[in-house]
Chains A and B, each alone.
Chain A
Amino acid sequence: MEFLSLLDITFFLLAGLGALVGIIFGAIPGMTATMAVAVCLPLTYALGLHHGLALLLGLYVGGISGGMVPAVLLNIPGTPSSITTTFDGYPMAQKGEGEKALKICVIASVIGGLISAAILFLFAPLLADFSIKFSYVEKFLIILLALSVIASLSTSMLVGIFSGVIGIWLSLIGDYSISDGGNGKTRLMFDFMEPYLFEGFSLLPVLIGVFGISTILLEAEKGAKSGLVSERIKISKGGGFSLSVFKGRLTNLVRSSFIGTFVGMLPGVGGSAASVLAYTQEKNLTRDSSQMGKGAPQGLIASESANNALTGGALIPLLSLGIPGDSTTAVLIGAFTLQGIQVGPLFIPENPETWYVMMTALVFANIVMFFLMFYAIKYIAKVVMVPKHILFPIIVMMCVVGAYAINYGIMFDVWTLLIFGILGYLVQKIGLEVAPLIIGFILGGQAEVYFVKSLESFGTYSIFFTKSPIAMVLWGLIIASLMFAIVMGFNSRARQKMELTQVTGSTHTASGKGHDTN
């Protein structure tokens, strides 16, 4: 209990401040939890390790959670891991349920965060031993499982798969980096593009462009007839938020939190895969998935509980193996390095005070995040009341500033934003699907590295099926996911056909009666 002496008022203030600043970073398109932690990293010199960790963990939790705000209200994922939040959040906001959607997200986030903190506290070393069973082969299969969501998300499977393949193709532009064990050579581009595209397109400008700019272009196309967004969108139209929305969704909440924690503990797989996987599983396992993607609360619960659960999950390999679980914990490891502390398999037994301090900061930051967001949400949600002609230029400006800032001032990232904004607009115009495209883009690079490295390491394709029992289970899940999507596709088509027949039948009857009358 010696660690209690380290928990002074400054500690809690810093964790709370971190959560607040993190939320702001997460809520601004282009700013991320990783950036927030990186910017504040040098402060750990002045603050010392324990106070520094309180601030950085607050930033981490806040940064991940803040991504829900633009995802719900503006259809722009604040962070890559809030991409699936846009699927149901924005349709809810359009229906006038922005505040309700955000409150669902906040509650799902805090529960996801606390479940993952509990798992981290109780099972960290054990789970670290399990996570090392996931080699290149198993990680590739996890990515493949996440990619199978494309089949579930698409209205037309063929178009969805085509869009996903375009996304993967776009993600492979650039060099096969030596930091991934590649040869450092560029591909899929002409020589004159190399100065700009050596490292490929940056993820966030692409994400903000495809979702944010294209949404604005589509809105702009409709013209400014409505003048005020508020004329079309009310903040709390209808029933508003009630805890009863979670009734019957406990399984989803717990399952998604476990998925988020699990994916978080696999180094290199990342938060976007966590929320995508949780969303797919909910879509595949729920009794009624017909509303998912059109404003269903269960989609938000899956996405947000998973992406916040990532925080505890990503700390498992960091603290038990010395290996960061995601990009933010990769920056967080810097706090230890700057203090001359080595994280590794003996970190927890050798540094019990720091371990307890981190757990306290993580739990406290989640609670602060909950209170800050839950009670501020009705004010935040008022952003939709701002007239379009004022709101849209501000969003564009924020997108541009965010894109410019993401790599500390690369103008090409702004061009990327605009190019992908127009591409996103055109893709929707010609009937391709945006979500599969962007999921392909996010996961394509990782899929390539793990696929190539699996083959390099084992030298045979059969290894993907025979490497381990885990690989076999993952294949089972992939096949089940695809089968489910196919069956659902057939059912939906049959239902549409039946509805069409009924409508045609009744029209015929009605017109027949008309004739009779005449």
Chain B
Amino acid sequence: MIITKKIMTSVGSAALMATLNISSGVAMAQDGPLRGNIRVVIGSTSTGGDTYQNSAIVVDQLAEKLDLNMKVDAVGASSAFRTLDRDSRGNTLMIFHDQSYLGHLYGVEGYDDIFDKYTVGPTLAINPGNAYLVPKNSPYETLDDVIAAVGNGETVRVAIQPGGVSEIGFSALKNAIAIEHPGQEDNLVAVNTGSQSDKNQQLFDGQADVINGSVQANEQYTRLPEDDQKAMRFVWLTARQDTIEQAPEEGLGQTSREQLLEYVEPNVHVTMGDDESFTFDKEFFFLYNKDMDPAIVEQIDEALAEIYAEGEIQEIQKNAFFIPNFKPSDEASEYLADKMARYEEIISNIQ
């Protein structure tokens, strides 16, 4: 009986403490227009991917700063857009990356023009790891070899996931071949596939000559001995040179920043014409319901500005191989609209 009373007292105290905690939290949160429980949906169904990882870092910091209960939900792009459509109160926010407008440019079902249908929020970080790889025993040592081979009439198959970040590098490569070797661009063939494991498998099976991957997912494969069926080699990182220069010096795994710089411009040149080289930085940003209270946009901008000014988040992001890249909503919207126009040109060139 004594034990029961003790347990009852403990449980009661814990419940009381929890209630008080929740009450005080709610009271503090109610100071701003953003209140209650906030669900941050992301355009990926994976909790192991970069979108979840980066969103978790940002949301964790925001929740602490605003003293709100915020949770990241990996629901996938179409579900996330539909969820965002339904909630104009601000209790549902979305974090996604360039796929949100690239999907629209590529005509993927379920993707609308984000600049028309939603409010584009602040940018948060760059993932500099968008990469293209070949088997370690491939005859193509560099991306120039790939371009030259396609120009000479060889068919080169590239495994990508269609309609987004994975395809934009492929489109740019095709565009470059069309400029340098007009009429040969059809020799570059897309092998439409799904997850990273599917793309890797296409390489292991010899069904693709080049695959889209990432520094994070594929770096360990590049360190395998050449006689291993799984061994790969980077030939191209789409990131800008100054983006990679901001990456931690030790790089990722045992691949240093110095080594990664070998695979970006100017060492790798994918022409867009007029001496301009194609680069692509995969950037994460908030998306909001169009009818959401503008005061919430402002509140999140201010909170993030403070968080980034404090500097802790940059350390966390860099440790996770992200490049911190905060731009407030207005600036971000303009910047991303320009970025979209730039890639729209490439896509329309090759269609």
Contacts and interface: CB of A to CB of B under 8 A. Distances in A.
Interface of A: 38, 41-42, 45, 129, 132, 135-136, 175, 177-186, 195, 198-199, 267-268, 317, 321-324, 330-334, 336-338, 340, 342, 344-347, 407-408, 410, 449, 453, 456-458
B220 A345 contact: yes
Interface stretch (B135-143, B177-185, B199-207, B300-308): B199-207
B161 A179 contact: yes
A324 B48 contact: yes
B47 interface: yes
B161 A178 contact: yes
A456 B193 CA distance: 10
Given A336-B48, A337-B48, A181 B221 contact: no
Interface of B: 39, 45-50, 52-53, 56, 60, 71-76, 78-79, 82, 103, 108-110, 161-164, 191-198, 200-202, 204-205, 207, 216-221, 223-224, 228-230, 252-253, 319-321
Contacts of B207: 135, 457-458
9 contacts: A175-B109, A181-B192, A317-B197, A331-B47, A333-B48, A334-B52, A342-B252, A344-B220, A457-B205
Given A178-B163, A330-B47, A333-B48, A345 B230 contact: yes
A339 B217 CA distance: 15
A458 B50 CA distance: 32
B230 A199 contact: no
A182 B163 CA distance: 10
Q: Give the interface centre of B45, B79, B109, B164 by most chain A CB atoms within 10 Å.
A: B109
B219 A330 contact: no
A345 B224 contact: yes
A333 B216 CA distance: 13
B217 A178 contact: no
B161 A344 contact: no
A268 B195 CA distance: 10
Which among B48, B79, B192 has the highest number of chain A CB atoms within 10 Å? B48
Given A267-B197, A323-B200, A338 B192 contact: no
A346 B223 contact: yes
B200 A342 contact: no
Given A41-B47, A184-B108, A333-B48, A321 B252 contact: no
Contact of A334 (B47, B110, B162, B220): B47
B162 A183 contact: yes
Chain B, interface SS category: mixed
A337 B192 contact: no
A340 B220 contact: no
B220 A337 contact: no
B108 A345 contact: no
Contact of A184 (B48, B110, B218, B253): B110
Contacts of A183: 162
B47 A179 contact: no
A344 B221 contact: yes
Residue among B53, B194, B196, B204 with the highest chain A CB neighbour number at 10 A = B194
Contacts of A184: 108-110, 162-163
B164 A453 contact: no
Contacts of B108: 178, 184
A407 B76 CA distance: 11
Contacts of B197: 267-268, 317, 321, 323-324
Contact of A342 (B49, B74, B82, B220): B220
A491 to B, nearest CB: 42
Contacts of A449: 194
Contact of B192 (A129, A408, A456): A456
Nearest to A332: B48
A333 B191 CA distance: 26
A42 B219 contact: no
Given A178-B161, A198-B78, A347-B220, A132 B193 contact: no
A175 B103 CA distance: 15
Given A179-B161, A268-B197, A185 B47 contact: no
A342 B53 contact: no
B45 A322 contact: no
Given A185-B109, A322-B220, A323-B200, A337 B75 contact: no
A325 to B, nearest CB: 10
A347 B48 CA distance: 15
A344 B194 CA distance: 18
Given A135-B201, A179-B161, A179-B194, A344 B217 contact: yes
A59 to B, nearest CB: 13
Nearest to B319: A340
B61 to A, nearest CB: 11
Given A182-B192, A346-B253, 19 more contacts: A129-B230, A132-B200, A132-B229, A132-B230, A178-B108, A178-B162, A178-B164, A179-B195, A184-B109, A195-B82, A198-B82, A198-B110, A322-B220, A330-B47, A332-B48, A333-B48, A340-B321, A344-B220, A345-B221
Contacts of A336: 48
Contacts of A453: 193, 198
Contacts of A45: 56, 60
Nearest to B208: A457
Contacts of B218: 344
Contacts of A323: 195-197, 200
Nearest to A41: B47
A336 B319 CA distance: 13
Contacts of B50: 337
Contacts of B201: 132, 135-136
A136 B191 CA distance: 13
Contacts of B56: 42, 45, 338
A136 B224 CA distance: 24
Contacts of B72: 42
A322 B219 CA distance: 11
Given A175-B109, A344-B220, A458-B207, A181 B79 contact: no
B320 A340 contact: yes
Contacts of B224: 345-346
Given A135-B201, A178-B163, A342-B219, A337 B230 contact: no
Contact of A181 (B75, B103, B194): B194
A91 B49 CA distance: 43
B78 A337 contact: no
A470 to B, nearest CB: 12
Contact of B48 (A136, A175, A334): A334
In the complex, the 7 A-B pairs of residues with the closest C-beta atoms, listed nearest first: A344-B220, A333-B48, A334-B47, A323-B197, A181-B193, A181-B192, A346-B220
B255 to A, nearest CB: 11
